[in-house]
Amino acid sequence: MSEKNQPTMEEIVSLCKRRGFVFPSSEIYGGLANAWDFGPYGSQLKKNIKDSWWRFFVERRDDMVGLDAAIIMNPRTWEASGHLSHFSDLKAECKKCNERIRVDQKLKDEDNAYFNDKVKNINDAIRNGEKTAIGSEDEIDGIRKEMQIKLNEYCACSKCGNKNWTVPEQFNLMFRIDYSLTGSENSIAYLRPETAQAMFVDFLNISNTARKKLPFGVAQIGKSFRNEITPGNFIFRTREFEQMEIEYFFDSKKSDWNIPFDGLRKDMEKWMDAVGIDMKKVHAVDIPDGERAHYSQRTIDFEFEYPFGQKELFGLAYRGDYDLSQHENLSGEELRIIDPETNEKIRPHVIEPSLGVERGLLSVLLSAFENQVLEDGSSRTVLHFKPEIAPVQIAVFPLMKNKEELVEKAKNIFEDLKQNFRCEFDDNGNVGKRYRRQDEIGTPFCVTVDFESLEDGAVTVRDRDTMVQERIKIADLQKYFGEKLK
Ligand code: ATP
């Protein structure tokens, strides 16, 4: 068998469409740019990844609790969190064809560093009282014009080739919605751009009811929405996506933040490995001072080697008590927890592991994918999913579909196994073709009922990865798969 080679995005996108993992959203109407639907196997795979995360980080621990909060929250949430004023990217438009670009993605690294430095100096001066925010606006305008000059110098529009850009401007990434029946001005709300804020806003309700002592974490899985300037690369960057986030609260006076930070880092690495992400392609990148959010004392981006480059997969950040104190200030509620030993009220600090479900799923697919040339010269495509997350764990076949005794026996086995495992019954085409189809959707085992089965009460079990076949007694199948799949 050949060495496992790196798949291309075309191979992944085409397999996803062909086998019903992921296809374009609302395709009969021409689709919607960068919107994708997860089909029969994709939705199951996605669910399995989320379930595995929930089991790993919530159910098997006694220091984590769950939350499932509303997507549309009181808009003051986003005022306090800083999303209304800061959650934006710099956008410029091609003057000829209106193509939009994210400026930081198009400027050269040294120019980005130069402009970041300039903005940082202005912000520092405002903070130190050396300058006023209003007086600095002209300077910021000047920086944007300088950026425009750089773009016009070396950035050709990918659509029309022109080098003629508008002055970059801030573009807020939150989706605004009208949350009233009357459409009045006070009715603007937002689709949440991250799941995290609900875990801060609900802190009192959670800490009062969960009866946990610090340190403890709150976990949530759910949809987030960002009006990204340049979505793309299949499901890597979309405007609607799911996040799996944890806010892990601890008493910063009692515990050095490095302890929970390192613990969660190790857990994230363990989980990525367990779910089948190729750890040789994952790189933990420490984000340097000037590039981190101002409230974060340390951020690690776990980057993955995608076919389109090494990019952020998941993040881990120490956010201090920034969020709780912001919400305290704006809501007037004390978001603190009483230390049962000292009776002191503590506003905890927080470590945040933040994971995108779709980026996780894409890395799982890329890690599992193999185009294999077999010894006889033929080839097959196979997804080497971990059994825990494979959409189908066992496929059951009768050797021939028009032999009633075989079909009946296979159906009985299927009925029995599907009580405990994710199973599929397939009697379509020859067995070789059925094996290939199951390989392509990553099914670890196939069970075939043949004429011998009627005599010896045994079936052929074929292993996806080794393609080795062995005879197993029907009566032993539950035990056999219990050991292999659980
Ligand atoms: P990027 O720099 O790629 O825009 P980010 O640093 O803004 O990502 P975070 O705000 O840290 O991302 O969000 C946490 C996680 O959510 C990311 O690590 C990623 O897995 C996921 N994520 C963020 N934006 C998107 C998106 N537009 N589409 C899909 N997943 C996303």
- Nearest protein CA to atom 5 of ligand 1, as residue: 312
User: What mean pLDDT is predicted for residues 330-342?
Assistant: 95
How many A from CA of 258 to the centre of ligand 1? 23
pLDDT higher than 50, residue 68: yes
**CA gap 334, 319 in Å, rounded:** 18
Is there an atom of ligand 1 within 6 Å of 241 CB? yes
pLDDT higher than 90, residue 427: yes
- Nearest protein CA to atom 13 of ligand 1, as residue: 354
Name the band, by pLDDT with cuts 50, 70 and 90, for residue 444: very high
Q: Which of 37-46, 129-138, 254-263 has the lowest mean pLDDT?
A: 129-138
Taking the CA of residue 239 as reference, the ligand 1 atom at the shortest distance is: 27
- Nearest protein CA to atom 2 of ligand 1, as residue: 312
Is there an atom of ligand 1 within 6 Å of 359 CB? yes
Contact 460, 413 (CB under 8 A): no
| Residue ranges of the chain that CATH labels 3.30.40 | 88-172
Q: Quick one: pLDDT at residue 1?
A: 42
Contact 298, 311 (CB under 8 A): no
Residue type, 106: K
Taking the CA of residue 231 as reference, the ligand 1 atom at the shortest distance is: 27
How many A from CA of 356 to the centre of ligand 1? 6
Residue pLDDT, tens place only, 271-306: 999 999 999 999 999 998 878 887 899 999 999 999
Residue type, 198: A
- Which secondary-structure segment (H or E) carries 435? helix 431-441
Contact 185, 75 (CB under 8 A): no
How many A from CA of 219 to the centre of ligand 1? 17
| Residue ranges of the chain that CATH labels 3.40.50.800 | 392-484
| Residue ranges of the chain that CATH labels 3.30.930.10 | 1-76+174-377
Mutate to test the pocket of ligand 1, among 359, 362, 364 (most ligand atoms within 8 A of CB): 359
Is there an atom of ligand 1 within 6 Å of 319 CB? no
Q: Calculate helix-pair angle for 40-54, 357-368, nearest 10 degrees.
A: 110
Peptide bond into 24 cis (omega under 30): no
Q: Quick one: pLDDT at residue 129?
A: 83
pLDDT higher than 70, residue 184: no
CATH number of 392-484: 3.40.50.800
Beta strand ranges found along 198-330 (DSSP E):
216-225, 240-250, 282-286, 298-306, 309-320
Residue-by-residue DSSP string for 11-24 = HHHHHHHHTTSEEE
Q: Quick one: pLDDT at residue 120?
A: 82
pLDDT higher than 60, residue 2: no
Q: Quick one: pLDDT at residue 4?
A: 62
pLDDT higher than 70, residue 115: yes
Count, residues in the chain: 486
Mutate to test the pocket of ligand 1, among 81, 237, 275, 357 (most ligand atoms within 8 A of CB): 237
What is the chain's mean pLDDT, rounded?
94
How many A from CA of 227 to the centre of ligand 1? 12
Taking the CA of residue 236 as reference, the ligand 1 atom at the shortest distance is: 29
- Nearest protein CA to atom 19 of ligand 1, as residue: 356
Tell me whether strands 345-346 and 309-320 are parallel, antiparallel or unpaired.
unpaired
pLDDT higher than 60, residue 399: yes
How many A from CA of 234 to the centre of ligand 1? 14
Q: Quick one: pLDDT at residue 381?
A: 97
Residues 6+ apart with CB under 8 A from 31: 24, 25
Q: Quick one: pLDDT at residue 360?
A: 98
Question: 1-76+174-377 architecture in CATH?
Answer: 2-Layer Sandwich (3.30)
Share of the chain above pLDDT 70, in %: 98
Taking the CA of residue 317 as reference, the ligand 1 atom at the shortest distance is: 11
Query: Does the 88-172 domain belong in CATH 3.10.290?
Result: no
Is there an atom of ligand 1 within 6 Å of 358 CB? yes
**Short-list 443, 323, 458, CA closest to 383:** 443
Is there an atom of ligand 1 within 6 Å of 299 CB? no
pLDDT higher than 90, residue 187: no
User: What mean pLDDT is predicted for residues 160-168?
Assistant: 96
Tell me whether strands 88-93 and 100-102 are parallel, antiparallel or unpaired.
antiparallel
**CA gap 174, 79 in Å, rounded:** 12
Tell me whether strands 36-38 and 22-24 are parallel, antiparallel or unpaired.
antiparallel
Q: How far is CA 19 from CA 23, 143, 213, 325, in A?
A: 9, 49, 47, 48
**How many CB atoms within 10 Å of residue 463?**
13
Residue-by-residue DSSP string for 362-389 = HHHHHHHEEEEE-TTS-EEEEE---TTT
